[in-house]
Structure 1
Amino acid sequence: MNHRFRLLTWLLRPQPLLYLLLLGCLWGSCKHNPPEPPAPEVNISPLPALAARDAVLYEVFVPDFSAAGTFDGMLPRLDSLQKLGVNTLWLMPLHPTHGSPYAVDAYAAVNRELGDLAAFDRLVAAAHQRGLRVLLDWVANHTSYYHPWIQQHPDWYTRDASGQIVHPNPQWTDVADLNYSRPELRQAMTAAMKTWVTGHAIDGFRCDAADLVPDDYWQAAIAELRQANPNLFFLAEGSQTSHYAAGFQLTFGWNFYNALQRVVINQAPAAALAAAHSTELQNVPAGSYRLRFTTNHDEVQAGAPAARFGSEAAARAAYVATLAFGAAPLIYNGQEAGDPAQLNSPSRTPIRWSNDPTAGTFYRGLLAVYNAQPALRSGPAEYFDQAPGAVVVRHRLGAQEVLVLVNLRNSAVSVPLPAALQGAGWTNALTKTAVGSPAAVPLAAYGYAVWQR
């Protein structure tokens, strides 16, 4: 009798469970636990944090940005955006929608007309190679009526006394208001945002209708998202200063924009801009800013900047005024071509990039000076009320001094300089030529100057 047979005979007799387990192992019947599924690939942005004072934003409406109207269609123009002087791309909502781009059907998907997620990842990677950050426009306050949550989680929506889901605004009839008293909704929304941070390497969010979402939600969500990537950037489409305590670095400068229209269009005194600037920065923490603009996707519905301000020259002078006080500037989709997307056409209207080459020259030159002058970006703004229609603002930071002068009237003006601004050493930052020591500065209609010393 061989040893294996003797062992088998002995084991087949009644034995404790321990021996039966041993038998199974001897004959190869022990089963190992199945391997753990591979963890999802982590894809987090490699770019460092961006201070609000250094942010220069560009808003993109993907369908009109290129002839193709896709993520891949954006790739050939990334170099030109880098040369323009922007460092942050704000992509308008790219999810499947019904109605406006802000009527989102699904937070985890992209509109197939724009491309697939692989194409989106290619765009983000190409932007990062050029030092361009990518902000995703996030609509947390509401969804479309086609979103799965409508059927799966009807209690996540706000209802009226009759039990009907309500719109967040009577004019926003294509969207349903979300109810942030539901903890499950909060968790699901943050999880959806986190997927884009950890899986698609975005650099932050422009949060739509941020004033309508509770600040305590934003605070918790931003804190959790920054655990995944501490360098995320957050822009609130809102004006409440409480957003800064919630973790936003930037909010919209609507007061300044409205004052700008009053000054340029209605001939209000230029001092109204200084008052708006001061009001907007009240209770804003050091290092946080307001976004300044002369158009965006909402405002362009009523016309391009040239139409809103009366002429292309007036629109450019208004843009210089947005930078004069120190700001985080915004350029809207095609603004640098003099052909911003209207977003009110029933069909796509791709931007005509060769529409006005002088517009590109203007914005590139101005932003080059803005990016090269730390004093202009973060030095305190000193306003001098020298002429009713002219802005005169000085910034000083360390040994650097920058002076911005803008004529916001359609007639020439000579702006007297106070003693504090006179003297030698000034250079025209736009032309790199010496200025001399003038006691007054002549400015053409809608003329402007940026000096440094």
Structure 2
Amino acid sequence: MSPLLWEVNLRCRWTELESVHGRRFQLCDWPEEELDLWQARGVTDVWLMGLWPTGPRARQIAREHPDLRLVYDTVLPGWRPDDVAGSPYAIAAYEVPERFGGRDALLRLRERLHQRGIRLILDFVPNHLGLDHPWVREHPEWFVGSPGPRPGTFEAAVGPDRSGLGGGGRGPARRWLAHGRDPYFPPWTDTVQWDHRSAAARRALVNTLCEVAGLCDGVRCDMAMLVLRSVFARTWEGWPAPADPVDGEFWAEAIEAVRSKRPDFLFVAEAYWGLEGCLRELGFDFTYDKGLYDVLVRGEGPGIQRYLLEQSPDALAAGVHFLENHDEPRASRVFPPDRHRAAAWTVMALPGMRFLHDGQCEGARLRLPVQLSRRPPEQPDPAIVQIYEEIFRIQKRAGIGRGGARLLTPLAAWEGNPSGLNFVLIVWQQAADRFTLVAINHAPHPGQCRAPWPAEAVRSGRWRVHEHGAGWTDQRDAAAMVAQGIYLDLPARGVQVLEFTRMEGPVA
């Protein structure tokens, strides 16, 4: 079964639930109807984004940051300081807050999800911690630091010096620690940077990951490529080295430590810069497919087809395919309804992990900063709702996501017709005598092509063809379709889902 990941903005969802019901909620109280809806839509994995607590110092930074305040004013006019919970990625502790009911409430929710065949996914942030984490004071040697002030550092209130950066071990030392950062952007001033060159820091982080794994079924690893040795070395070149250097890749050690006890534990990497394959080699199950997102945003049919056909089957099957997430603009703002439908069908019909974001299926248009714990209500967009209701309904009936899948290269419908260059053809092979073909025309005009007969399908006999959109059914001879291809004629941004089932006897 092709997995479907559902991202929930936990802090905002909790504010809404408590407001509607007029009482304090715990995770174990999650409304039954919402869990049932996930199950009915085929969700296999629920990611609770924002579970871990943020401390007071990080919250203060989030409330006072001038750029963030401008965004708050735009998306949540009249916001109050209590609406700003701080970044979920400035983690003060990997503990379940009492606001959500603590560890026991989370485990009870997990059990309810398991009863519906759904796994629980939580965040793991390997690159940095929040300023409020106690290890900043207790173990400053675990973080990138400097004996004096440098751009991107802060003066830390720490205990006795154990870092080798100065102080001679005589009482508290003046220490400057680096904020976490991506090498292409300014530092995140509510965080502190792990030193992945330190053996002790690695042990502490691996142990933390193992503890997190005891609470869930998988982790979405934030900016996973930042801790690769090659990336880390370039980012922090010229900074003082730790006293206890370590070799090898963090992810290889960390993933092995978890999988030695949980072989089926799921690892999902937020990853960019063409390093997705490297992370999969180190053990990740799935990696973000930002390349597909970018070509879908551009909307050029030949570019979309070319990108997908150039991917190896393994890379495509390990991709996390999305139209939005909390770091990207809302899909309803980026894609007009006709393009939205074609793009959504592409993402949802591909092999790999399909990824939907809270509010996406209702056409939410406000991209909310992750620091906010309250969002304004938005009315569902009927056109967008219809798109996703169609996808959920047809996918379940047509067997999309079950069996093996691969892309087909469109053939010209006739000589001199180039419109097939705009088509994406995805075939799901449930058995030798049954398969489903999803055809998507990404052009702003009608197009025609022929789909090659799938290599795994029986090449003879009579076949029943059912079209799941318009609802028509026909019978066709395999020999003709093998020789000529399956003829497709789609309107602008059109989608067609054809289910083929082999029958007995001659063609009627």
Smaller-chain TM-score bracket: 0.7 to 0.9
Shift of residue 279 of structure 1? 4.5
Letter paired with 2:17: A
The 1:366/1:291 distance shift into structure 2, 3 A limit, reads: farther
More deviation, 128-137/59-68: 59-68
Is 2:121 the partner of 1:93? no
Residue 351 of structure 2 corresponds to: 326
Deviations 1:17-61 (A, max 9, x none): xxxxxxxxxxxxxxxxxxxxxxxxxxxxxxxxxxxx621111111
More deviation, 388-397/136-145: 388-397
Deviations 1:420-440 (A, max 9, x none): 599964222456531566975
Residue 267 of structure 2 corresponds to: 234
Residue 449 of structure 1 corresponds to: 496
* 8 A Cα contact 2:450 2:487, kept in partner: yes
Alignment counterpart, residue 391 of structure 1, candidates 413, 420, 423 = 423
For 1:270-419, list aligned pairs within 5 A: 270-281=301-312, 284=314, 289-299=318-328, 302=329, 304-309=330-335, 311-339=336-364, 342-344=367-369, 346=372, 348-349=374-375, 356=382, 357-369=385-397, 372-375=400-403, 378-384=404-410, 387=419, 390-395=422-427, 397=429, 398-399=431-432, 400-411=434-445, 413-417=446-450
* 8 A Cα contact 1:190 1:221, kept in partner: yes
Shift of residue 273 of structure 1? 2.0
Aligned length: 384
* 8 A Cα contact 2:410 2:421, kept in partner: no
The 1:306/1:368 distance shift into structure 2, 3 A limit, reads: same
- Alignment partners' CA distance in 2, 1:384 and 1:419: 7
- Alignment partners' CA distance in 2, 1:234 and 1:416: 38
1:296 counterpart SS class: coil
* 8 A Cα contact 1:65 1:333, kept in partner: no
Shift of residue 392 of structure 1? 3.5
Is 2:118 the partner of 1:132? yes
Letter paired with 1:62: L
- Alignment partners' CA distance in 1, 2:255 and 2:452: 48
The 1:435/1:159 distance shift into structure 2, 3 A limit, reads: farther
2:17 counterpart SS class: coil
Residue 23 of structure 1 corresponds to: none
Shift of residue 355 of structure 1? 5.6
The 1:333/1:277 distance shift into structure 2, 3 A limit, reads: same
Alignment counterpart, residue 149 of structure 1, candidates 135, 147, 162 = 135
Is 2:172 the partner of 1:168? no
Residue 188 of structure 1 corresponds to: 204
Deviations 1:389-429 (A, max 9, x none): 73241426451333222232444x14233575999642224
Residue 68 of structure 1 corresponds to: 17
Deviations 1:315-364 (A, max 9, x none): 12111122444332111112222237732385512766866452551342
Letter paired with 1:233: L
- Alignment partners' CA distance in 1, 2:117 and 2:428: 28
Deviations 1:292-320 (A, max 9, x none): 01111111xx3x212111x2332121111
For structure 1, the residue ranges without an aligned partner over 5 or more in a row are 1-52
The 1:251/1:351 distance shift into structure 2, 3 A limit, reads: farther
Is 2:143 the partner of 1:104? no
Rg bigger for which structure? 1
Alignment counterpart, residue 466 of structure 2, candidates 424, 427, 438 = 427
2:255 counterpart SS class: helix
- Alignment partners' CA distance in 2, 1:418 and 1:82: 33
- Alignment partners' CA distance in 2, 1:324 and 1:360: 12
Residue 6 of structure 2 corresponds to: 58
Shift of residue 133 of structure 1? 0.3
The 1:281/1:366 distance shift into structure 2, 3 A limit, reads: farther
More deviation, 151-160/401-410: 401-410
2:177 counterpart SS class: coil
The 1:418/1:185 distance shift into structure 2, 3 A limit, reads: closer
Deviations 1:232-265 (A, max 9, x none): 1111111421112211111010111111111x2x
The 1:430/1:88 distance shift into structure 2, 3 A limit, reads: farther
2:473 counterpart SS class: strand
The 1:394/1:131 distance shift into structure 2, 3 A limit, reads: closer
* 8 A Cα contact 2:408 2:452, kept in partner: no
- Alignment partners' CA distance in 1, 2:89 and 2:394: 32
Percent of aligned positions with the same letter in both sequences?
25
Letter paired with 1:358: Q
The 1:114/1:307 distance shift into structure 2, 3 A limit, reads: same
What is the TM-score with the length of structure 1 in the denominator? 0.75
For 1:248-267, list aligned pairs within 5 A: 248-262=284-298, 264=299
* 8 A Cα contact 1:91 1:135, kept in partner: yes
Aligned CA RMSD, in angstroms, stands at: 3.1
- Alignment partners' CA distance in 2, 1:223 and 1:370: 38
For 1:39-58, list aligned pairs within 5 A: 54-58=2-6
Letter paired with 2:364: D
1:165 counterpart SS class: strand
The 1:120/1:359 distance shift into structure 2, 3 A limit, reads: farther
- Alignment partners' CA distance in 1, 2:448 and 2:207: 55
For structure 2, the residue ranges without an aligned partner over 5 or more in a row are 19-24, 59-85, 150-175, 230-248, 413-418, 501-508
